[in-house]
Structure 1
Amino acid sequence: MTRRLFLKFFLSMGALFFLPKKSHSYEENRILLLSSVVAGFRYYDGEKIWKKLSKNDTLELRREPTNPHDRNAIEIYWNKIKLGYVPKADNSVIAQLIDRGNRLNAYITWLKEDENPWKRIGINIELLV
């Protein structure tokens, strides 16, 4: 285990103990967990619906624990259309939170016409508390 991975895991686990308990109000607090990009965009249907995507569109995150390449894989969907994945380098903490039943909010933060598929769609993932 690398130092970076250890620190990432250690800090993420520690943060879970200090999250505020759920209040009885209807107001949701949001904690930004990740600002990243969509991985694997060129392999799925994103190109077909590119012109329909907009900044702030809601995204659905789905765990894919049976993925043979990444046991922490998290698929990203827009209106039931698969856009790609949360990058492998960033998905371990998010996967744990999903597996524990935490509520997350994901949305598009930017869109860019670029030949590099890693620079096409920016996303944010927030923890709802």
Structure 2
Amino acid sequence: MRSACSALALLAALASDASCAQSLRLLAQRSPLAGAQFHQLHAVRSGLREGDALTLEREPENRHDRRAIRVLWRGHMLGYLPRAANFEAAAEMDAGQRLSARIGRLTEDQDPWRRVRVDVYVELA
């Protein structure tokens, strides 16, 4: 993710048009939603749409994972970025880098790890 941030910083510097820079972001990772079966996904599933904005919140006090990142939709806790995939995102958030997320894919799979794909973006401007 750091190399992606560096590349995007260069792109941002090259983009002198303010309207272009306002929406500059880079897809940094795609991950399944972890722990959805333990949170509120079932209660809000019918309202979710691919492309919906998600909120990422660091949870450094989490006793299972000090790099935990909560994933919320309209204030509803859906789950977490997976522990195996949250190291760089947590480091970037801790360093003050703005990250955003969207629902990249929704399915009705029996496997809870396949029901929601979270797309995480680095916001450059």
TM-score normalised by L of structure 2 = 0.86
Tell whether 2:38 aligns with 1:49.
Answer: no
Matches within 5 A, 1:52-71: 52-71=47-66
Using the aligned pairs only, state the percent identity: 34
1:79 aligns with 74
Q: Secondary structure of 1:89's match?
A: helix
Which structure has greater helix proportion?
2
Picking from 24, 35, 56, the partner of 2:30 is: 35
Q: Secondary structure of 2:91's match?
A: helix
Q: Which moved more, 1:26-35 or 1:38-47?
A: 26-35
Q: Deviations over 1:48-103 (max 9, x none)?
A: 11100000000000000000111100000000000000000010100011111111
Q: Could you say if the C-alpha distance between residues 15 and 35 of structure 1 is closer, same or farther in structure 2, counting changes exceeding 3 Å?
A: closer
Give 1:18 deviation, angstroms. Answer: 4.9
1:107 aligns with 102
1:120 aligns with 115
Is contact 2:31–2:118 with CA below 8 Å preserved after alignment?
Answer: yes
TM-score normalised by L of structure 1 = 0.83
Q: Secondary structure of 1:59's match?
A: strand
Counterparts of 2:77 and 2:51, CA distance in 1:
17
Question: What amino acid does structure 1 have at the position aligned with 2:33?
Answer: V
Number of matched residues?
A: 118
Query: What runs of 5+ residues in structure 1 fail to find an aligned partner?
Result: 1-11
Question: What amino acid does structure 1 have at the position aligned with 2:67?
Answer: N
Tell whether 2:9 aligns with 1:20.
Answer: yes
Query: What runs of 5+ residues in structure 2 fail to find an aligned partner?
Result: none
Give 1:15 deviation, angstroms. Answer: 4.9
Question: What amino acid does structure 2 have at the position aligned with 1:115?
Answer: Q
